[in-house]
Amino acid sequence: KAGVTQTPRYLIKTRGQQVTLSCSPISGHRSVSWYQQTPGQGLQFLFEYFSETQRNKGNFPGRFSGRQFSNSRSEMNVSTLELGDSALYLCASSLGGTSGQETQYFGPGTRLLVL
Amino acid sequence: DQQVKQNSPSLSVQEGRISILNCDYTNSMFDYFLWYKKYPAEGPTFLISISSIKDKNEDGRFTVFLNKSAKHLSLHIVPSQPGDSAVYFCAAEKGGGNKLTFGTGTQLKVEL
C-alpha cells in the first residue's frame, strides 16, 4: 500500500505571496492532519480534516487554511506569507474513527522557504 | 505551555546496549501515546504506541512503558543499532481527536 504523499517537496516563495500544498493520504484513510515543524516551535498541529470538514484546529492564524476533497486528498493554503512561515509542513493520515487512539502516518513533508 | 516534554535533547549509546528515551506530560486527559522516529527533512516514522489503559507495549526491539501516576513514559530499544540513530519524538493525544501534541525530541546517537 502506498504511503502518504506530499507535493511539492520543496518550495521557495517571497513574503506576501500565497502557497498551496497538497497531500494524498494512504488509501482508505479518511482523516488528514497537517503539522508545521520549525526549529523554534517544534512540531505543531495545524488542523485536521475528515469527510471534507475541518474536525480539529490548532492555534494558527487565519492565514493558514485547508480543505479536503471527496477522495480524501487535502490541500493546505497559506496566504500573505511571512518569513516565519518557513518550515517543514507535514501531512498525516489515519482511518478517521471517532473513538480516537489511531495511529497517524506521516508523509515526507514539504519544505517551504519564504524569502 | 509545553504539555509534552522530552528533557534530554540528546543521548549517546553504544551499539548493542539499551537506549532509554524519556517523556513527561502534564495533561491528564491524554489517553494515547506514540513514539516516532525522524530523520532530517523527512516525515516522522511511527514506531510504537500505547493506550492509557496499559502500562507496557512491546514490538520487537521496542518497548514503551507508561506510568500514569507519574505522567511519564519511556521508550526502550534493545539492542540498539547504528540505524537507530535519529531524532525520537513522543506524542500524545486526548479524547478521540486526531490532534497530536509532540515533545521537543531527543537526538539518539548509537555508536559503534
Going through chain B in order, the beta strands assigned E by DSSP cover 4-5, 10-14, 19-25, 30-38, 45-51, 56-59, 62-67, 72-77, 86-94, 101-102, 106-111
Q: B31 to chain A nearest CA, in Å?
A: 8
Q: Which residue has the higher pLDDT, A102 or B35?
A: B35
The model's pLDDT over B27-69, given as tens digits with 9 standing for 90+, comes to 999 999 999 999 987 899 999 999 999 999 999 999 999 999 9
Residues of chain A with pLDDT > 90: what percent? 87
pLDDT at B71: 97
pLDDT greater than 90 at residue A99: no
- Sole residue written with cell 525520537: B88
Mean pLDDT of chain A: 94
Average pLDDT over every residue of B6-23? 97
pLDDT at B95: 77
Of residues A48, A90, A108, nearest to B98 (C-beta): A48
Q: Is B66 exposed, middle or buried (0-12, 13-18, 19+ CB in 10 A)?
A: buried
Task: Assign A61 a pLDDT band (cuts: 50, 70, 90).
Answer: very high
Neighbours of A95 (CB within 10 A): 15
Of residues B43, B51, B96, nearest to A109 (C-beta): B43
Q: Going edge to edge, which strands form the sheet with A64-68?
A: A5-7, A19-24, A74-78, A64-68
Task: Return the amino acid letter for B89.
Answer: F
Average pLDDT over every residue of B104-112? 96
Helix (H, G, I), strand (E, B) or coil at A85: helix
How does strand A74-78 pair with strand B101-102?
unpaired
CA distance A87 to B12: 27
Task: Return the amino acid letter for A76.
Answer: M
Task: Return the amino acid letter for A88.
Answer: L
Q: A13 to chain B nearest CA, in Å?
A: 18
pLDDT at A7: 97
Task: Return the amino acid letter for B99.
Answer: K
The model's pLDDT over B65-92, given as tens digits with 9 standing for 90+, comes to 999 999 999 999 999 999 999 999 999 9
Of the candidates A84, A74, A88, A79, which has an alpha carbon nearest to the alpha carbon of residue A115?
A84
Average pLDDT over every residue of A19-47? 95
Cβ distance A104 to B100 less than 8 Å, yes or no, reads yes
pLDDT at B50: 96
CA distance A12 to B55: 45
